[in-house]
Structure 1
Amino acid sequence: MSSVSFIGSGGMARSIAARAVAGGNSVELVGRDVAKATDLATDLATDLATGPGGGATVGTFGTVPAGDIVVLAVPYTSAVAVVTQYGDALAGKIIIDISNTFNADATGLVTPDGTSGAQEIAKAAPASAHVVKAFNTVFGHVLAKGRPLDVLFAGDDARAKADVSTFIESLGLRPLDVGGLEMAHWLEGVGLLLMGLARHGAGTFDVALGVDVLG
C-alpha cells in the first residue's frame, strides 16, 4: 500500500482519502485550516470504523509531507502558489495534480494551448519531484459512491506513474495511462467535456466516463 498526503480538505480530498483509507493506505491530511483537516480525519475514522482502514493523521501545512505521494487537492487558481510555497519540502515526492482548469462558467480552459495546469505545477515543483495528472476526469461525489471507475492519468516518469497506478488500484479503481505530461492538457479538456455532458447530454452530474476494450 502507499503512503499518501493530501494538501487540501475539500470534497475531492474527502472522496479520494476515504477510498485511500479503506484501501489500507497510510493517509495524512494537510490544510491551512487545521480544524477542517482535523474534522475530516475524524469523519474518516468514524465512517470507516468497521472497515479495514485505520483513519488518517493530520500534518502541518508547509512542512515536508509524510507521504511519498502528495495529492494536490486545491483549486488550480492556488495550486502553483501552494507548490511554490512548499518548495524543497516536495523534493523527491510524486505530486498528483487533480485540478481542472476551466473558466468560471466551465465553457473553456484558462490555460493556453500547448500547456496545462499540471505542466505549470511541474515548473514550480523541485526538479526531483514528479507530477502526475489524475482524477480530474471523475466527479468527487461519484467517487464517493464507491463504485469501480476508470481514472485517466498522465506523467513523464515511468516509476512515478507505476506508483500512482498502484495507488489508484488500491482505491478499487482502474488506472488508464494516456501518456506523457503533455497529455494533461487534453485530460483537462476531458474534464471540461464531462461538465458539458453532465449539463446537456446526460442531464445529471451522477455520470462517469469509462473505456471499453473491445476484443
Structure 2
Amino acid sequence: MDELGPGALDGWIGKKLMTNVTVIGTGNIGSAVAAVATKGGAHVQLLGRDGEKAASVAAGLGATSGAVGDVLTGDIVVLAVPYDALAELAELYGHQFDGKVVVDVTNPINFATFDELTVPADSSAAGELQKQLPDARVVKAFNTNFAGTIATGQVGDVPTTVLVAGDDDSATQALVDLITAGGVAAAAIGPLKRARELEAFAFLQITLAAQEIVGWGGGFALRK
C-alpha cells in the first residue's frame, strides 16, 4: 500500500479475495496465517510433516491438507517453518516456486546462544532465500508478530499490523491485500533489504518476551 494514513484501511479490511494460498507449517504461526487467509476468502492448502496434524488443523479451517513434498497449489506460499528448514524446502521444491509469491516468516536466531542472528550482517533470511530462489518473488512478513497477535488481530489494546517487505510491488500488494481481507492490518514498508531490520526488530522482541519484559500475547504495535 502506498500510504497507511488514518482510515486508510476503513472499508477494505474484511473484503474477501479469491486466491490460492499454500501454508507450509502447522505450528502456531502457520495455523494463525492459514486462519487469516481462509477468513479472507482464500483457498488454503496446509502442508506439514505430520499429515494427521495438518489434516486436523485444516479441517477446523475449511482448508485442504497434505504433506510436505506435495505439489504446491498456492500462488502465494507461506513458509511458516524454522529458518534452518528454508534451504531444505528450496531444494525440495526448486522450480515449483518460480513466479510464486514466497513469504518468509522466519527469524534466523542462534538459539544455542540466543545472542545473535545467523545470517551475514549485510543480509537477511529473506535475502538468502531470494538468492536460492531467483525466479520466485520473495516477501518478508509475519516475523515481527507473535502468533497470538495474528490470531486475535490485537496487540494489547492496539490492532495488529503485519509489516511486509519485498522488491516486487505486485507481490507485496498481493500479500497486503490477503492479510487485510482476513481482518488484520498490514503495511508495505519497502524493499526486501528492509528484512534485515525486521529480523533484528523481531530478535529484540523475542528476547524481551523470553525475559518476560513483554508478553507473548503483546509486543510492539503501530499506533496511528
Under TM normalisation by the shorter chain, which class is it?
0.7 to 0.9
CA–CA separation in structure 1 for the residues paired with 2:44 and 2:87: 23
CA RMSD of aligned residues (A): 1.7
Q: For structure 2, which runs of at least 5 residues remain unmatched after alignment?
A: 1-16
* Alignment match of 1:182 (pick from 180, 193, 201): 193
* Alignment match, 1:111: 119
1:165 is the counterpart of 2:176 = yes
Whole-angstrom CA distance in 2 between matches of 1:170 and 1:180: 22
| 2:50 counterpart letter in structure 1 | D
The answer for the alignment partner of 1:31 in structure 2 is 48
1:4·1:25 contact (CA, 8 Å) conserved in 2? yes
User: Are the structure 2 counterparts of residues 170 and 109 from structure 1 closer, same or farther at C-alpha, using a change threshold of 3 Å?
Assistant: same
The Cα shift of 1:203 comes to: 3.9
Q: 2:84 aligns with which of 74, 77, 87?
A: 77
* Deviating more after overlay: 178-187 vs 144-153: 144-153
* CA contact 1:197–1:203 (8 Å) conserved in 2: yes
Aligned residue number for residue 106 of structure 2:
99
**Higher RCO, Cα 8 Å, sep 6+:** 2
Q: How many residues align?
A: 202
1:60 Cα deviation from its structure 2 partner: 4.6
> Aligned partner of 2:97: which letter?
L
Does residue 12 in structure 1 map to residue 42 in structure 2? no
Look up the match of 2:130: 122
Q: In structure 2, what is the Cα distance between the partners aligned to 1:36 and 1:199?
A: 27
Gaps of 5+ in 1: 45-54
1:80–1:120 contact (8 Å) kept in structure 2: no
**1:195 and 2:203 are equivalent in the alignment:** no
CA distance in 2, matches of 1:37, 1:149: 26
Q: Per-residue CA shift, 1:140-184, capped at 9, x if unaligned?
A: 122222433111111100111110110111121221222111111
TM-score normalised by length of structure 1: 0.87
Percent same amino acid at aligned positions?
38
Question: Is the CA contact 2:76–2:102 (under 8 Å) kept in the aligned structure 1?
Answer: yes
- Say if 1:19 and 1:146, in contact at 8 Å, map to a contact too: no
For residues 118 and 76 of structure 1, the distance between their equivalents in structure 2, rounded to whole angstroms, comes to 10
Distance 1:59 1:90 in 2: 17
SS at match of 2:85: helix
